[in-house]
Structure 1
């Protein structure tokens, strides 16, 4: 049962292969098995590749089956249409387009499986790329908000600097009136005289201004700090919103690009393996000598060709014979005087009718 299925996969003519020897049937069963398992590999490869795209098992399996059947049909067609000839180069020239097509199919099949085989290495490359993209994205977003954040920080620093400046002024005034009272500076008189009172009043006025300035500036600083937190929150939100896009950077194209960044030698060997598998049925048919099935197929085709040539020759003979007979018949009819006189009479009647009709038209025109 399995042998018959594989012979069907080889594209061999059922009636001819059944009449061949067991060894011939085994050869074509092997070719059919190669075609079948190549299609199975194509299904696995395409299903995995499509799963990385759609992230859905059922969709990937469905389109994988379609792709596997397409590859199966192409391989079966390629193998079944190669005809054995007496010269190898003539056969090779006949198979060249099919070999090129097989190479393309092998490359298409091998690439998704390479991605699966080197999945861990590819994930490492993608992780590095994602980290670099995340840092670059964070830097870009930070640059976008940097102007507002820097301006807000400068305003806060300015308000704090005003408070510190006023505090220094108040402290200096405090030191001035204290040293005046102690007699160490100013008038150098101990006690609280008029100068002391003047300096004390100036200090108290500056202290009130400091309290007022501190209240106003602290309120504005609180407002600016709240704005800074809002800007920072927006920055973090922008980064977090774009992070899923970066995390999703693991599609088919990204994995192919990551695969290309790995050492190429293992990928080349895998592609060559699939190329050997894909072209093996064709190479087997090219290298194999003419066998029983080829002779029977050639005999069947030549019999049909001979039959068609005979039919065409008979049709041509029938056509030329019929033409000769009709030529003789009409030659004899041409010599019949009675028929000649009858046709002459009818021709005269027709000419008279045409002349009368023309004359009537001319009269009407005048």
Structure 2
């Protein structure tokens, strides 16, 4: 337990040697350190999960996820540790809040970042279903677009194909009617379309000729229609209309499994809305409160440090800081004094040197005067 306590003290950013002297402060900094540690742990899991989806399908996806998770968790740990340890309890309440406000904003941003990947995992089943619906809707829209483009591009050929089908249907009905009338003429049935004379006579031959002409036209129309259908079928293959089909259940499962972080994040946002575009309050509140929980968890160490009263540890730490400042000032003054003494010594040395030069010059001038 001593090792665990010291570890959480380290996580809180406390000065351990000073904190040991004040047992009343021990539990507070254990709680702060534990909060920072578990925040970093959740950040590590969140970052690793996000990176796993970035490299999903890669052979090294798990390795990349573990490495990034450790790096991300370490970065969040150091940042939280600095945020908490840098709050000065010596100032007034307003000064402390003003000092902590940028750190609180940073903590909120960190909470949002680390909560999103975990929300993706929590709502994984609902996200997969939303992605399947989206992929199916997108495929249907793609097919509709291809059909619309195909109909516009080959409108003339499609119109001609429709006319040929109508003519073929009309000819088939007409041929059946003409063949029935021919039989009536041959068997001598008296109607307004037949002579009533039994046998293959003149009227029967005329009806036979008309029937053959219609059958010949039907054959021509059928051949043209077959050629047109074949041409349009090739055009559908060329435009990709024949090869584009709606996804089956197996394909939808595969697509949802390999969906990237961006698609899953979009699907999570869409869970808050119903099919008619109205907000689904229950899902929205569930997703929002998970995010708020992580934001609060991230801000909790800062709030605990702000709300806690000034204790003996804070007073001792302030005195240590003042002593360090004082010693630094004394050291600076000593350096200045040493510098000044060095300057004075150098100045005296320079004066002595100049005096020697002047004396030497005077002696020289005196000797030269005596010689003259």
Work out the CA distance in 2 between the residues paired with 1:288 and 1:189: 119
Is contact 1:170-1:210 (8 Å) kept?
no
Structure 1 gap ranges (5+)? 346-366
Any residues of structure 2 matched to 1:99-138 within 5 Å, and which?
99-138=104-143
In terms of fraction of residues, the more helix-rich structure is 1
Which of the numbers 298, 302, 317 marks the counterpart of 2:318?
Answer: 298
Change (3 A) 1:325 1:59: closer
Is contact 1:46-1:112 (8 Å) kept?
yes
The Cα of 1:53 is off from its aligned counterpart by: 3.5
Is contact 2:181-2:194 (8 Å) kept?
no
The answer to whether the aligner puts 1:143 opposite 2:148 as a matched pair is: yes
The Cα of 1:13 is off from its aligned counterpart by: 2.8
The answer to whether the aligner puts 1:65 opposite 2:86 as a matched pair is: no
* Length, aligned pairs only: 340
The Cα of 1:34 is off from its aligned counterpart by: 0.7
Q: Deviations over 1:292-345 (max 9, x none)?
A: 433333333333222221122122223333434444554455555433348999
Is contact 2:13-2:82 (8 Å) kept?
yes
SS at match of 1:311: helix
TM-score, normalised via structure 1 length:
0.75
Identify the residue that residue 5 of structure 1 maps to in structure 2. Answer: 7
Is contact 1:43-1:65 (8 Å) kept?
yes
Runs of 4+ in structure 1 over 6 Å off: 181-189, 241-246, 342-345
Q: Deviations over 1:11-36 (max 9, x none)?
A: 2234333x423333332222111111
Identify the residue that residue 208 of structure 2 maps to in structure 1. Answer: 204
Is contact 1:48-1:60 (8 Å) kept?
yes
The answer to whether the aligner puts 1:238 opposite 2:244 as a matched pair is: yes
The Cα of 1:44 is off from its aligned counterpart by: 2.1
The Cα of 1:102 is off from its aligned counterpart by: 0.7
Identify the residue that residue 162 of structure 2 maps to in structure 1. Answer: 154
The Cα of 1:239 is off from its aligned counterpart by: 3.0
TM-score, normalised via structure 2 length:
0.74
Identify the residue that residue 276 of structure 2 maps to in structure 1. Answer: none
Work out the CA distance in 1 between the residues paired with 2:298 and 2:176: 88
Work out the CA distance in 1 between the residues paired with 2:189 and 2:31: 117
Structure 2 gap ranges (5+)? 273-280, 367-372
The answer to whether the aligner puts 1:282 opposite 2:302 as a matched pair is: yes
The Cα of 1:136 is off from its aligned counterpart by: 1.8
Identify the residue that residue 338 of structure 1 maps to in structure 2. Answer: 359
The Cα of 1:109 is off from its aligned counterpart by: 1.4
SS at match of 2:243: helix
Is contact 1:137-1:239 (8 Å) kept?
no
Which of the numbers 242, 255, 262 marks the counterpart of 2:264?
Answer: 255
Q: Structure 1 residues 92-101 or 329-338, which shifts more?
A: 329-338
Work out the CA distance in 1 between the residues paired with 2:190 and 2:336: 147
Identify the residue that residue 23 of structure 2 maps to in structure 1. Answer: 22
The Cα of 1:123 is off from its aligned counterpart by: 4.0
Which of the numbers 167, 178, 203 marks the counterpart of 2:175?
Answer: 167
